[in-house]
Structures are given as structure tokens and as C-alpha cells.
Amino acid sequence: MKLFLPVSLFALLLFAGVAFAEEKIKSEQLEEVVVTGAREAEPLKEKPQTIGVIKGKEIKDVRPSHPSEIMNRVPGVWVGVTAGEGHLTAIRQPLTTNPVYLFLEDGIPVRSTGFFNHNALYEINIPGAERIEVMKGPATALYGSDAIGGTINVITRPSPSVPEIELNPEAGEFGWHRLLASGGNTWGDNGFRLDLNTMSSDGWRERSGYKKESASLRWDHFFGTAGRAKTVIAFSDIDQKTGGSNGLVRSDFESRP
């Protein structure tokens, strides 16, 4: 009996500690913030819109070679593959090439009004993103009629607080090669990060090869504890053939499965 009471008390305290830790974790998870729709951090649970969030860890684990490989993980979103890096997007509606979606990088439109491109995600360095926010349906007045179908906002990775460098070379069938490189550091009040993505493929059929180079350079300037300012320079160059989006004849279908 003398041993039973202390053990029971210890087990009770341990259970209470675990329960408190679980409640704290759940509370922290509920406090997830988003910036799409207001250009400032707001708790996701307080937003009147439906917003899906793809976190940086998931992007890093998947290392998508095409936007569809990561975007299709968001409920209500489907991104189809056309040729090479090309794609079509559907957010709670059928696939379309009409200008009903707005594609952003750090809250800035990838293309200005009047120059819509349904392939806009291939102009963004998706594997080097910190997170992706998808606003489903009409956005706020901040974006106007450019986003009547939905908004996709790709957030760049911030500069690391300590020296960091990462290289990921890859190779696959049909002459597919890719190199993902990332690195940066912070010196005093200024931090820098460079993310590179170079990829090429011979294509799975004739005239379907492509080559892509994209990069994002981010500079963070810190104003003590008052905040920070960021400057992002993005680059993208794509050279691809569109044979993969043409209709297949029966002989090709039977001889080239």
C-alpha cells in the first residue's frame, strides 16, 4: 500500500502533463496564420474565406517536379498536366483557361491584369517555397475581379539565421534531370537566401521535351524587434515543346504505352 499511492499519484501527474501538452499543441495548431487576402498575418480560424495551406515541410518532402504533385493535395483543387511544365487549374469548378484565377508570389501578381496565363505556376519556383496558400472562390476586394475563381499565393522561404546550404541532384527515365539548390545566411540585420531549380527532360514521346531554370533571391532586412522588410527577385526561363498535348493516334497508343 505504501508503494501503490506514490505510483498512482505519479501516474496521475504524468497523465495530466501529457494532456496539458496535447492541449497546448492543439492550441498552437489552431493559431496558424495566413497572409492571403489581407497582405498581413491573420489567424486562419478568423478568416471568412476558405483557405487551404500547404506547409513548407510537405513541400520539402515532396519536392514537386510539376505543380500538380503538390497542389492536388488541397481539397477542392485539381491541377492537370498538359505538356512539360504546362498545367490547367480547377478550384471548385471545371478546368478552364479563362482568367478566373489569380497567381501570386509573396502577395504580388505573377502577371499584371490583362496578361493572364493559365500556366502561371510554372513561372514560380514551387519546390523552393516556404508554403502555399490557396483561397477557394472569390477573394477580397484587395484583388478585385482578377480572382473570382480563386487565388494561389506562393510564399518564398525566409533567409536562415545560420549558414545553410542544400543540394538535391535527381535523375529519372526519359532523360529527366533536376538539381535543387538552396543556401543563405544572416549577417547582422540583413539575411539572404537563394533557391535554384534547374530541370530538363527529353519527354515521354516525340516533341515533348522541355528545359526549365528558375530561381528566387530573397533579402530580409530586420528592424530589431519592430519587424522586417523583404525584397524578392524571381527568375524563370522555360523552353518546351508541346507535342505531349496533341492528340494520340491509335498506332502511337498501341506501340508506345
Contacts of 232 (CB under 8 A, 6+ apart): 105, 106, 156, 216, 217, 218, 219
Q: Which neighbouring-strand residues pair with 177?
A: 171, 200
**Residue range of the domain that includes 191:** 164-243
Q: End-to-end alpha-carbon separation of the chain, Å?
A: 74
Q: Which of 156, 188, 220 is the last residue of a domain?
A: 156
Looking at per-residue pLDDT, the higher value among 12 and 51 belongs to: 51
Tens-digit pLDDT profile for residues 67-97? 999 999 999 999 988 877 888 899 988 888 8
C-alpha span between 18 and 14 (Å, rounded): 6
pLDDT of residue 62: 93
Calpha distance 217→208 (Å, rounded): 30
Does residue 47 belong to any structural domain of this protein?
yes
Choose one of 156, 180, 201: the last residue of a domain. 156
Q: Within this chain, do residues 186 and 144 fall inside the same structural domain, yes or no?
A: no
What is the pLDDT confidence band of residue 231, given thresholds at 50, 70 and 90? very high
Q: Dump the DSSP string for 123-160.
A: GS-GGGEEEEEEEESS--TTTGGGGSSEEEEEEEPPPP
Q: Give the SS3 label for residue 55.
A: coil
User: What nine digits make up the cell of 178?
Assistant: 533536376
Does residue 93 sit in the same domain as residue 67?
yes
Strand partners, 109: 104
Which among 118, 137, 156 is the end of a domain?
Answer: 156
Confidence of residue 24 (pLDDT cuts 50, 70, 90): very low
